[in-house]
Amino acid sequence: MGSMTITEKILAAHCGKQSVEPGELIQARLDLLLANDITAPMAIAEFEKAGAKRVFDAQRLVLVPDHFTPNKDIESAEQCAVMRRFAQKHKIGHYFEVGEAGIEHALLPEQGLVVPGDAMIGADSHTCTYGALGAFATGVGSTDLAAAMISGETWFKVPESMKFIYKGRLGEWIGGKDLILMTIGDIGVDGATYRAMEFTGPVIRTLAMDDRLTMCNMAIEAGGKNGIIEPDEITREYVRHRAKRLPVYFTSDPDAHYAVVKEYDVSELEPQVAQPHLPENVCGVSEITTVTIDQSVIGSCTNGRISDLQIAARVLEGKRVAHFVRCIVIPGTWEIYREALHDGLIEIFLDAGCVVSPPTCGPCLGGHMGVLAKGERAIATTNRNFVGRMGHPESEVYLSGPAVAAASAVAGRIVHPEEVL
């Protein structure tokens, strides 16, 4: 049996082989399938067109209405209705209604539905988030999902792996978002196309789970097939009381082969910002001090977790959002919302003049709860800043972590958090 990376080991385990190698085509059994209110209706239509009578396992499919919810308009209400009726008909064990759901990629790890060692797919490109737990997770199209709903399996080409080693000490205000933005800035939006991005090194081993989830979430922004981090004590602690199934802990062999190995010393890293209109268009926050904003969005599957809200609250406490600026805060799930409420964060946001939204993907994809008008500019903790991503094709989106987004809301322009504290 040859040496393998963690990604190769998980895929081998799920296709019943001793070992696999990059480029090999495999048929893998799946532990979990995921879809949302945009992608599920298409998958359901294909499922029914195929004449399928039942889902391979009603406990292995997760359906989460989170993109245009609470229903934005008639069309989005229809989408949700299709999904809800399907969940009722097939007795889907993990259908989450809006009052218990949240953003899918914040929800699944929190609920212990995806566990280390899993192989899973989701009809959403940011499914790669779950690699933070030491799982193989990747996004697929709705037709691939429909086929997997019937069979419980899908095919993969085993990806090559890239290794990213982070060394040094993280400065204040620097988190997973800054590390991944810096990395995408270095390799480009196609720098990891159809490759596994494995994040490792002393810095990663000290990172909290929230930051790891953020990093793996944006692997797709570099074209990655999946992002992944070897499980360690932080992983075990995170899943200990959550896991709904038995975790399996895989690690990469020391002599495993990588297509590319990159090393970074991040000791001097300052907060990173991606300028329009690509996540690779990255610079340090000190390089863009004159960019005024109309809106700041703190949330999304990238940075809507409790630690993100804590960082934003630290910056916003006792301050006011600048006149003519909108600051929208979106807790990732109802658990996170409840914790933020209990800890007084929601009050800090309201006192600062922020809008606090129910958990939703909302503005990230130009859905609702914060769509941009022509000529408007936003800073956001979301993951994409393509043309028209958050609204009008002539609006602009800058990406950052929660500290910069909160500070910029106060200053009315993009600034380092120290500038408003």
Domains in the chain, start-ordered, CATH in brackets? Answer: 6-263 (3.30.499.10), 273-419 (3.30.499.10)
Within 8 A by CB and 6+ apart from 343, the residues are 310
In this prediction, residue 1 has a pLDDT band, given cuts at 50, 70 and 90, of: low
* pLDDT number for residue 388: 87
pLDDT in tens, 295-320: 999 999 999 999 999 999 999 999 99
Over residues 100-108, mean pLDDT: 93
- Contact, 126 vs 332, CB < 8 A? no
Return the percentage of the chain with pLDDT > 90, whole number. Answer: 94
pLDDT in tens, 52-91: 999 999 999 999 998 998 999 999 999 999 999 999 999 9
How many of the other CB atoms lie within 10 Å of CB of 234? Answer: 16
pLDDT in tens, 120-179: 999 999 999 999 999 999 999 999 999 999 999 999 999 999 999 999 999 999 999 999
Q: Are strands 25-29 and 295-298 parallel, antiparallel or unpaired?
A: unpaired
CA distance 301 to 118: 20
Amino acid at 320: R
Strand-pairing partners, residue 94, are: 62
* Tokens found for residue 43: 């998958």
Q: Would the pLDDT of 244 be above 70?
A: yes
* pLDDT number for residue 2: 81
pLDDT in tens, 320-370: 999 999 999 999 999 999 999 999 999 999 999 999 999 998 888 888 899
In this prediction, residue 387 has a pLDDT band, given cuts at 50, 70 and 90, of: confident
pLDDT in tens, 144-160: 999 999 999 999 999 99
Closest by CA position to 9, among listed 262, 171, 237, 196:
196
